[in-house]
Amino acid sequence: MTDASLLLAVRHCSWANAALLEFCGTLSPEQLAWAAPGTYGSIHATLGHLVGGEFGYLFRLTGEAPGGVLREDPPPLDEIAARERANAERIERVVSSGFDPDRITAPPNRRKATAGVVVAQYVHHGSDHRAHIGTILGAHGLEPPNIDVWAYGRAHGLAGDPVG
């Protein structure tokens, strides 16, 4: 994957998280508590897990934990959104400033992995849990926001509308 492709992947991830958090900010506490079989947990818990996971991957990549761990489980939605904005800024800095995907990361008590694998997991983890939330919303009759890569491309002038 080229540096530009990697940057596009993390930008989409950050954009999709922000869009989903904005959408979920309109839900009632009862709706945020919805869950569905086969998903991580409630919408609220999944959002907290998704953003907390990103924070952990960034710690692994940088050795830095600015702001520390969010203590409530799950944290309030506004705190999750603030952490997501900080994660988005950090992951973009990581992959756009001399990123070495072959660098080995091995935090204490964790198995070693290359930085490239950690960033790939960062992107996959977000996609996986955003899909969980989409499943929960659909199971309860709500249409989730369109946050796929095509929608990101259209929103940023990188892709057009379907032909035909």
Q: Is the dihedral of CA 35, 41, 45, 47 positive or negative?
A: negative
pLDDT along the chain (164 residues), means of 10: 84 98 98 97 97 94 82 88 96 93 83 94 97 98 97 93 73
CB 49 within 8 A of CB 40: yes
State the amino acid at position 141 in one-letter form: G
7-26: burial string, b at 16+ Cβ within 10 Å, e else: bbbbbbbbbbbebbbebbee
Domain locations along the chain: 3-155
Question: Domain 3-155 carries which CATH code?
Answer: 1.20.120.450
121-152: burial string, b at 16+ Cβ within 10 Å, e else: bbbebbbebbebbbbbbeeeeeebbebebebb
- Mapping DSSP onto H, E and C, the string for the chain reads CCHHHHHHHHHHHHHHHHHHHHHHCCCCHHHHCCCCCCCCCCHHHHHHHHHHHHHHHHHHHHCCCCCCCCCCCCCCHHHHHHHHHHHHHHHHHHHHCCCCCCCEECCCCCCCEEHHHHHHHHHHHHHHHHHHHHHHHHHCCCCCCCCCHHHHHHHCCCCCCCCC
Quote the pLDDT of residue 136.
98
Quote the pLDDT of residue 151.
95
Quote the pLDDT of residue 2.
57
Quote the pLDDT of residue 3.
80
